C-alpha cells in the first residue's frame, strides 16, 4: 500500500492546456519531493518543498506544499508534449526514507 495517494492516476490533455496533479497523505513529512520518470529510466528530481505553505515555481511548473505538510500539488501551465511522463511525489520522514505515491501518468497530445 502507498502511504501517499496521487490523483488522478491518468491524465491526457491537449498541448497548451493546463493540468494539476495532487498528492495527499494522512502523515506529516519533513519534506516532499516531486519526480518525473520516463519509461525505462529512473525518476528525475524536479523539486523539493520543505516549509508548510511553500510555493515553488520552475518555469511552467508550480509546486505547492500544504500548510500541514501532508499534501502537495503540481500545476503545469501550457503543457507541452515534452511534459509527458510519470509524475511521482515522495515524502521524506525524519530519517529521510522516501515514501512514494503510485504516480500520475501524464500524456500531452500534440
Interface residues with another protein (CB under 8 A) are: 2, 4, 33, 35, 40-45, 48, 88, 90, 95-103
What's the min distance (Å) between Cβ of 76 and another protein?
19
* DSSP notation for 70-100: SEEEEEESS--GGG-EEEEEEEE-TT--EEE
Task: Report how far residue 25's alpha carbon sits from residue 32's, in angstroms, rounded to the nearest whole number.
Answer: 11
- State which residue, 35 or 76, has the beta carbon closest to another protein: 35
- State which residue, 13 or 86, has the beta carbon closest to another protein: 86
Q: Is the dihedral of CA 50, 55, 13, 79 positive or negative?
A: negative
What's the min distance (Å) between Cβ of 78 and another protein?
27
C-alpha grid cell, residue 1? 500500500
- State which residue, 59 or 97, has the beta carbon closest to another protein: 97
Amino acid at each position: 500500500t502507498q502511504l501517499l495517494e496521487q490523483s488522478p492516476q491518468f491524465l491526457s490533455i491537449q498541448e497548451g492546456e493546463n493540468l494539476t496533479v495532487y498528492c495527499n497523505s494522512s502523515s506529516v513529512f519533513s519534506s516532499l519531493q516531486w519526480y518525473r520518470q520516463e519509461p525505462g529510466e529512473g525518476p528525475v528530481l524536479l523539486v523539493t518543498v520543505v516549509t508548510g505553505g511553500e510555493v515553488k515555481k520552475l518555469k511552467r511548473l508550480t509546486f505547492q506544499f500544504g500548510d500541514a505538510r501532508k499534501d502537495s500539488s503540481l500545476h503545469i501551465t501550457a503543457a507541452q508534449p515534452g511534459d509527458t511522463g510519470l509524475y511521482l511525489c515522495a515524502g521524506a520522514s525524519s530519517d529521510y526514507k522516501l515514501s512514494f505515491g503510485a504516480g500520475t501518468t501524464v500524456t500531452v497530445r500534440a
